[in-house]
Amino acid sequence: MSRVRPSPTLISVLLGIALVALAPCVVTNSYALVPLTFIAIYTILVIGLNMLMGYAGQVSLGHAAFFAIGAYTSAILSTQYGCSPWAAMPAGMALAGIVALLVGMPCLRLRGHYLAMATLGFGMIVYILLMEWPDSPPLLLATLGRLLHLPASTPWPFTGGASGLPDIPALAIGSFVFHTNLQKFYLTWAFAILALLLCANIVNSRVGRALRAVHGSEAAAATLGVNIAAYKIHVFVLSAILAALAGSLYAHAVGFISPPTFNFIRSVDFVVMVVIGGMASIWGAVLGAGTIVLLGNWLQDVGAKFPRLAEFDLIIHSAILILVMIFMPAGIVCTARDAVLRRLRGRATAPAAAAPAHSEEVATP
């Protein structure tokens, strides 16, 4: 495939910053910034998952759990322990990273889709824990407390159970609180762009090359001395940390969290975002998150105008999903790129080049 010379990462990042900065000028309705804010939050999570799926060739069916760990750690620390949200956020990320290490270690040493199965189980367990925590929390913690001789009145954290945790403070710098739609929009996108930059850098670095080698052929990579398992675990932990960051931002942006937001369906939603956007493509993450959020938003609007259609919401949503997957199995980014390339080069060489299986080149020409 043809290669474009100037550093594309830099250009696209600058372009992205410009787009974000100018978006509020184009999008004059401030309510329209709300779905855009959710896109930023999901983008952060989806980039990590995209790297995991695209470069490490592993699927996670439990990323909502890491999303939850970030959200609940942030919410609990800032509402129950008077912690600053800025301190709570990295705490959640660290916790998610450690948990991911524990979950990923045994599975990622093996070949095959064991991580998908393990994360599915892990996601369900976290969801049930969130639901049932307040009732019998401390079975584990109480034992711990007894071992450490803590007083009985120790303020154990509580998740609010199925009823959820309300009144989570918004993020603030000094006395400046990120309150309005516009402020939240800029805040979340600042994080999203940082995350995009981070991942673009990783992809273009030595680690990235190793990852692509792993994705191309594990056996070949192993012969070249790439420690496959270690790389896979790194990517998985990174994706969990990003998911926790997204969860933390979600909690502070919405101000209320409850378990249904973090169930299995949500994990699947995230995978759908990755695949729709295009795997192994950092910008595919933005597109995938954008497509799903805007589609949901648009269907909600259509439902408001034509109440009868509201009932068909799920059917339309799933039909579009199935059609996209059948006709663009490599995701929007890759399919669009292939189409453009084909136009550019004429039809003569098209068939072989457009095979969607190799999509590594998107982020790193």
> Of residues 162-221, which lie at the interface with another protein (CB under 8 A)?
162-164, 166-167, 170, 179, 181
Question: Nearest to residue 89, comparing CAs of 242, 294, 256, 316?
Answer: 242
143 binds another protein (CB under 8 A): no
CB 262 within 8 A of CB 251: no
| Contacts of another protein in 3-22 (CB under 8 A) | none
Pick from 16, 24, 90, 255 the residue near another protein by CB under 8 A. 255
φ, ψ (nearest 5 deg) of residue 173: -115, 110
Q: Which residue lies nearer to another protein by CB, 208 or 277?
A: 277
Q: Alpha helix (H) ranges present in 205-227?
A: 206-216, 218-223
| Contacts of another protein in 282-321 (CB under 8 A) | 296-298, 300-307, 310-315, 317-321
Q: Which residue lies nearer to another protein by CB, 168 or 237?
A: 168
Q: Which residue lies nearer to another protein by CB, 6 or 152?
A: 152
Number of amino acids touching another protein (CB under 8 A):
95
341 binds another protein (CB under 8 A): no
Q: Write down the least CB distance from residue 365 to another protein, Å.
A: 22
Pick from 132, 197, 209, 229 the residue near another protein by CB under 8 A. 132
Q: Which residue lies nearer to another protein by CB, 19 or 27?
A: 27
271 binds another protein (CB under 8 A): yes
φ, ψ (nearest 5 deg) of residue 177: -100, 135
354 binds another protein (CB under 8 A): yes
Pick from 40, 51, 120, 187 the residue near another protein by CB under 8 A. 120
138 binds another protein (CB under 8 A): no
Q: 31 vs 36, 38, 148, 253, CA distance in Å?
A: 9, 12, 50, 14
**Residues 52-81, mask of contacts with another protein (x by CB under 8 A):** -x-----x----------------------
| DSSP states along 125-167 | HHHHHHHHTTTSTTHHHHHHHHHTT--TT-------GGG-B--
Q: How far apart are CA 332 and CA 286, in angstroms?
A: 11
Q: 81 vs 75, 84, 98, CA distance in Å?
A: 10, 9, 22
Q: How far apart are CA 209 and CA 212, in angstroms?
A: 5
Q: Which residue lies nearer to another protein by CB, 112 or 346?
A: 112
Q: Write down the least CB distance from residue 167 to another protein, Å.
A: 8
Which of 4-12, 28-36, 44-52, 208-216 is the region at the interface with another protein (rule: CB under 8 A)? 28-36
**Residue whose pair of structure tokens reads 């969607």 in the numeric block:** 356
Q: How far apart are CA 236 and CA 104, in angstroms?
A: 7
Q: Write down the least CB distance from residue 136 to another protein, Å.
A: 6
Instruction: Please write down the HEC assignment for all residues of 159-181.
Output: CCHHHCECCCCCCEECCEECCCH
